[in-house]
Amino acid sequence: MDYWSWIALRTVEGIGPVLFRRLLERFDTPDHVLSAAPDDLATVRGITPQIVEAIAAPACRHFAEAECRRIEDVGVRLLTFLDAEYPRQLFEIGDPPPLLYLRGTIPAWEPAIAVVGSRRATREGLKAAERLSSELAALGVLVVSGLARGIDTAAHRGALAGCGATVAVLGCGVDVDYPPENRQLAQQIAESGCILSEFPMATQPLAEHFPRRNRIISGLSRGVLVVEAVEKSGSLITARYALDQGREVMAVPGPISSPACRGSNRLIKEGAQLVDCVSDILDATRIGTSDHSLPLFNQNAAVPRCNLTPREAAVYELVAQGPRHLDEITQALELTPGEVSAMVLGLELKGMLLQLPGSYYSLP
């Protein structure tokens, strides 16, 4: 696939994930969007005159040309939300990134658990994160974290020690070493798992990027485990995303006198699952079997992998957030009943949708 037009359209100011997908539902490909007449672009809900002007301007095209050269130079791979290997779990979060930059090996995305926590972790917190992540990885669970100092680093190291795969989701470009002391760790992660980001190459780790990064960490995972978090920490933002996305929220308890544990202890007080062993995680997220000596899943068959059209992706995203009636899908996507019927049939044949009684559809 030629990703030039994907990059160009994604970098237009004012076009976020939701509007990007609306444009593809209307015009089928980014190429067609970039060449569309201004009057046609203006018919898409959310498009302003400023965005129409920005789509026609040469700036996004020049950026895309330079970006393609950078990607080729460092061997980064791009995944669009139409690609078969794109993590389908992200369709459940409401605003899945249309484009992911990926360095390393594409893992089996399911089952996955996010392990996050304080950058200024205690020794006990680091030991807990590393031990639990190692045990998860040994059981075939993908460990997802953010490659930050502290708990994130311990989680990735633990997963590697457990001979499993781990994914690091960055708040900067995948070619940016941040934090710099984790450069070697990032290389190790890429050998069995991957480093990924929705941000373009060379994007610096600005503070406003990390909350956006956190929604992907939780979105990839069945549950989020918080190991030490101060009050008002980024880990609590990830936990809130997890709640909004219908994921399980878990936390490791800590001393009531420790400021490093106030946020994570408060999560438990508010109803998060208390975790002191790996079985607690498996039970809370309904992962696994009674025999923990065996791999939990045939990961190659865990999630259907099929290329999608933009409209199929829109249907899949809608149903991924909960069962939908055929009429609901038709109304939400502003399509004809015949068009929607053809799309849901195609998704059924691909094994990605299941028809329920009463013309309702859900994921298998």
pLDDT in tens, 174-214: 999 999 999 999 999 999 899 999 999 999 999 999 999 99
- Please tell me the predicted confidence (pLDDT) of residue 2: 77
Reply yes or no: is the peptide bond before residue 98 cis, omega within 30 of 0.
no
- Please tell me the predicted confidence (pLDDT) of residue 144: 98
Q: Alpha-carbon distance 215 to 344, whole Å?
A: 28
Angle at 351 between CA 23 and CA 141, to 5 degrees: 95
- Please tell me the predicted confidence (pLDDT) of residue 288: 72
Lowest-confidence pick of 114-123, 142-151, 230-239? 230-239
- 138 membership: H or E segment, kind and range: helix 123-138
Q: Tokens representing 211?
A: 């909350």
Q: Alpha-carbon distance 34 to 54, whole Å?
A: 10
- Enumerate the CATH 3.40.50.450 domain ranges in the chain, comma separated: 104-299
pLDDT in tens, 292-348: 444 444 443 445 567 888 888 888 888 888 888 888 888 888 778 888 888 888 888
- Please tell me the predicted confidence (pLDDT) of residue 350: 82
122 close to 150: Cβ distance less than 8 angstroms: no
- Please tell me the predicted confidence (pLDDT) of residue 1: 62
| Beta carbons within 10 angstroms of residue 273's beta carbon | 17
- Please tell me the predicted confidence (pLDDT) of residue 358: 81
In this structure, what DSSP letter does residue 297 have?
-
pLDDT in tens, 144-165: 999 999 999 999 999 999 999 9
**273-274 sheet: strands from edge to edge:** 77-80, 99-104, 194-197, 166-169, 142-145, 112-117, 223-227, 248-252, 273-274
Torsion of CA 90, 11, 237, 276, to 10 degrees: 50
Q: Alpha-carbon distance 357 to 364, whole Å?
A: 14
| Beta carbons within 10 angstroms of residue 280's beta carbon | 16
Q: Alpha-carbon distance 124 to 163, whole Å?
A: 22
Mean pLDDT along residues 228-241: 92
Q: Alpha-carbon distance 35 to 56, whole Å?
A: 8
- Please tell me the predicted confidence (pLDDT) of residue 9: 96
Look at 337 and 278; give whichever has higher pLDDT: 278
- Please tell me the predicted confidence (pLDDT) of residue 48: 95
- Please tell me the predicted confidence (pLDDT) of residue 305: 67
Angle at 190 between CA 187 and CA 193, to 5 degrees: 145
Q: Which CATH class is domain 104-299?
A: alpha beta
In the numeric block, the tokens 């669970």 are attached to: 141
Mean pLDDT along residues 227-247: 92
Residue 15 has pLDDT above 50, yes or no: yes
Q: Tokens representing 321?
A: 């957030």
- Enumerate the CATH 1.10.10.10 domain ranges in the chain, comma separated: 310-362
- Please tell me the predicted confidence (pLDDT) of residue 131: 97
One-letter identity of residue 293: S
Q: Alpha-carbon distance 135 to 132, whole Å?
A: 5
Mean pLDDT along residues 247-254: 96
Q: Alpha-carbon distance 301 to 285, whole Å?
A: 19
Q: Alpha-carbon distance 224 to 234, whole Å?
A: 13
pLDDT in tens, 22-41: 999 899 999 999 999 999 99
CATH of domain 1-73: 1.10.150
User: 322: left (phi > 0), else alpha (psi -120 to 50), else beta?
Assistant: left
* Greatest mean pLDDT range, 18-22, 112-116, 243-247, 297-301: 112-116
- Please tell me the predicted confidence (pLDDT) of residue 245: 93
- Enumerate the CATH 1.10.150 domain ranges in the chain, comma separated: 1-73
Q: Facing residues of 197 across strands?
A: 101
In the numeric block, the tokens 């939990």 are attached to: 296
Mean pLDDT along residues 277-304: 65
- 362 membership: H or E segment, kind and range: strand 360-362
One-letter identity of residue 88: R
Q: Alpha-carbon distance 346 to 95, whole Å?
A: 23
pLDDT in tens, 36-84: 999 999 999 999 999 999 999 999 999 999 999 999 999 899 999 999 9
Q: Which of 1.10.3190.10, 1.10.10.10, 3.40.50.2300, 1.10.10.60 would CATH assign to domain 310-362?
A: 1.10.10.10
